[in-house]
Structure 1
Amino acid sequence: MPRTLIITNDFPPRAGGIEAFVHEVALRLPDVVVYCSSPSRADAAADPRFDLRLPFPVVRDAARVLLPTPRVAARAEAVARLEDREAVLYGAAAPLGLLAGRLSGTVRRQVALTHGHETGWSALPGAREALRRIGDTTDTVTHLGEYTRRRLARALSPGAAARMRRVTPGVDATRFRPGAGGGKVRDRYGLGGRPVVVCVSRLVRRKGQDTLLRAWPRVLADVPDAALLIVGDGPDAARLRSAAAGLDSVVLTGPVDPEELPAHYDAGDVFAMPCRTRRGGLDVEGLGIVYLEASATGLPVVAGDSGGAPDAVLDGETGHVVDGTLPGPTARALVRLLKDPDRAARMGGRGREWVEREWSWDRTSERLTALLTAR
């Protein structure tokens, strides 16, 4: 395994899906140095000793956001030389993959991870050309699934598109599992033995929590004792709380400690996040790791059809993919699952089997190791 330098803006203690992905990858590579931006004051105050607990060195730049400037390129090159790095892994292809040309004489291999936002870059003049340059100067640009592969390939040169490989985040099925503490979460929010639909995600419009709220009266008409548990925080929180006003069967938890997320999934009977594409295709779901975490917990899932979200569902087997722009399809899918708990349990069991087989972190690590060691 080559000595690897990870260059990224997305790293804990800041929370987020990309941050978790890059952190888990770093923990599984045997010889790593991370060069990254500085966390916000709030994130640093929340966990001031985070870097010190890691089993590898972290070089923090003074900047809150790393950009592919000459200064950052020189610093990255200096770190690579001083730490005797053989390979570079970009935590997100855009924009830091633009450093690859400068580092090509210092390291042997360069791999750029993509997460979904790069598909928006592929549709914008200027950004599309930047992606093409990243593809031509790195050895591999990864993709999450067929949707992201198609979108990114349009922006890349034919040679770079042919070198693309699939690398996805994994799921820790020992952490996200049935029996992870859902009973205590139900007690905390007064849910008792009611049928519970749970949504775990950042509260932003693309995720579709508002579609869930619009669908909810229709669900209650068929399943009167159902409850909706919306877990998370974000810029759409105030609007969602306003929309949920007067609905006693809806609970918005606010921010939840990451250690408690498995228990919040486990509090549900069905997982739903009817995500939708926005802004003419610029705001799109890259994959939706939450669907896989829910599947690992043994829940059937209802997913929106935005971008690569369907790649995280075996439609009709582990859950249902619906049009996330309309409340009707979401309501119908939820009612079917809530009214047929045996079928829901079979779907949840199938989902857990699939995650354990195809979405483990070991599998992700194997794929990435192969890319970093290729010659």
Structure 2
Amino acid sequence: MNILLLTSEFAPAIGGIGTYASEIAAAATRLGASVTVLAPDYGKQATEDDAALPFNVVRFRGGLHSMRDVPGKIMLARRTMRDGRYDVVHAADWPFFIPVALSRWGTPARVLMTVHGTEINETQTPLKRAAIRGAGVFGRRTEVVANSRYTEALFREKFDVDPRRISAISLGVSEFWFGARGKRREVRLAHRLPEDRLVMVTVARITRRKGHHRTLAALAQLPDELRDRITWLVIGPDGEAGYVDQLRREAAQSECDVRFLGRRSNEEIRDLYAASDFFCLTGLPDPTGRVEGFGLVYLEAGAAGLPSLATAVGGVPDAVLANETGILVPPSVDGISRAIAELATEPRLRAVLAAGAYAHARSLSWERCAARTYGLSFAGELAAAAHALGSVA
């Protein structure tokens, strides 16, 4: 099978869509497909890094998407789809939806488009809806892949598309996150974390919609004796400057042990998971229309053996199974505080949820995701059929 995957986000840019594009391309290659990824060059030479990938990467001039890039992407998609003999053409993100739709007449290939969540709301302006309708983006030849049941439901609410052409296929977890981690004691020593500390870890860009301020408020209202036993590791790059500054001030003024570790490599994050007791990310509904379509980071933490505390927003309930892999609560300070206390004071509960989190993450491989997306053969384990979203009996 020959697959063309078009994406507006790819390494060296960091983001969920870039991870999706790279991982599904690599997994499809491992399953025997020949994959070509069309990605922006960000004004840099990436020849050496691209050559190390197991699939072919063709770079085009450009960076992260803006609407003025659409005409160039239309010409790029038309030329590439016409010149190649592909069995599948896959638009991995919305900036390529219209270019692929306007170019599909030039190829007999299956046409797939993946929706991740936020872009569904972003395309509801009259101008964008008119462009989508005029291009026939979700016409009869288009198959839509949603990254969670939530995203599928949101898409069906906003667009009148035959449900038989929509599939909810959850994302996968890279084998990297199951790999060897630093020894707990050694990592704790390196970060001055005593053995008797309860360590809660968050990995996310520090933005308001990720809910760090709610977590801080929840920590602050714990009983003194319990709060004094907990250290919160905050990992991730800064987002909105004003929000980050306010969060840091409030943390400094609180009686909580909060450590902002900034951006860290995946290897460092994996080691820090080994030093932690549970994962916490308490996202919030966002009035701008941005949504958490899935929540891959919860599964990455689960692969390292950590249960999660999460808020039940967007597609997070597909990543964190309530009372099986973690605790799901409403996005309220009181609910988050009670859940932190429960996880902090009940080691047996943490152990049971950690085992469930690991099993859930193990069942969601990228090979399973690629096989379901492209119709490739995959001799997965029985656990994948039992746990994977949308699995076929």
Specify if TM > 0.5: yes
Code of the aligned partner of 1:207:
K
* 1:288–1:183 distance in 2 versus 1, CA, 3 Å: farther
Change (3 A) 1:62 1:174: closer
- What is the alpha-carbon distance in structure 1 between the residues aligned to residue 182 and residue 319 of structure 2? 21
Is 2:76 aligned against 1:75? yes
Alignment check: 8 A CA contact 1:73 1:99 kept: yes
Residue ranges of structure 1 left out of the alignment (5+ in a row): none
Equivalent AA in structure 1 for residue 259 of structure 2: V
Q: 142, 147, 156: which one pairs with 1:144?
A: 147
Deviation at 1:131, TM superposition (A): 5.4
The one-letter amino acid paired with 2:375 is A
Note if contact 2:42-2:61 (Cα within 8 Å) is conserved in structure 1.
no
Aligned ranges for residues 126-205 of structure 1 at < 5 Å? 126-130=127-131, 133-136=136-139, 138-159=141-162, 161-173=163-175, 175-176=177-178, 179=181, 181-193=183-195, 194-205=197-208
What is the match of residue 109 of structure 1?
Answer: 110
Q: Which moved more, 1:134-143 or 1:190-199?
A: 134-143
Q: CA RMSD in A?
A: 2.5
Within the candidate set 316, 327, 339, 2:345 is matched to 339
Identical amino acids, percent of aligned pairs: 28
Cα offset, 1:248, TM superposition: 6.0
* More moved, 219-228 vs 21-30: 219-228
Deviation of 1:278 after TM superposition, in Å, equals 1.3
Per the alignment, residue 216 of structure 1 pairs with: 219
Quote how far apart the aligned CAs of 1:14 are.
0.8
Query: Hey, what's the Cα distance between the residues in 2 that align with 1:131 and 1:184?
Result: 54
Superposed displacement of residue 134, structure 1? 2.4
Q: Give the equivalent residue in structure 2 for 1:241.
A: 248
Q: Which amino acid aligns with 2:51?
A: L
1:48/1:4 Cα in 2 relative to 1: closer, same or farther (>3 Å)?
closer
Aligned to 1:23: 22
Amino acid at match of 1:232: G
**SS state at 1:73 partner:** helix
Question: Cα gap change, 1:135/1:348 in structure 2, threshold over 3 Å: closer, same or farther?
Answer: same
Q: Deviations over 1:56-85 (max 9, x none)?
A: 332222222455634322222222333433
User: Does the 8 A contact of 1:178 with 1:297 survive in 2?
Assistant: no
Cα separation, 1, equivalents of 2:159 and 2:339: 38
Q: Return 112-121 or 76-85, whichever deviates more.
A: 76-85
Q: Quick one: structure 1 residues 7 and 192, their matched pair in 2 at CA, closer, same or farther if it must change by over 3 Å? A: same
Instruction: Point out the more displaced range, 79-88 or 338-347.
Output: 79-88
Which SS does the other structure have where 2:137 is aligned? helix
Conserved in 2, the CA contact under 8 Å of 1:318 and 1:347? Answer: yes
Distance (whole Å) between structure 1 residues aligned to residue 219 and residue 359 of structure 2: 30
Q: 1:329 aligns with which of 328, 335, 353?
A: 335
- 1:351 aligns to what? 357
**How far apart, CA to CA, are the structure 2 residues paired with 1:295 and 1:134?**
36
Query: TM-score normalised to the size of structure 1?
Result: 0.88
Q: Distance in 1 between matches of 2:72 and 2:179?
A: 45
Q: 3-state DSSP class of the match of 1:213?
A: helix
What's the TM-score once normalised by structure 2's chain length? 0.84
| Residue 315 (str. 1) matches residue 322 (str. 2) | yes
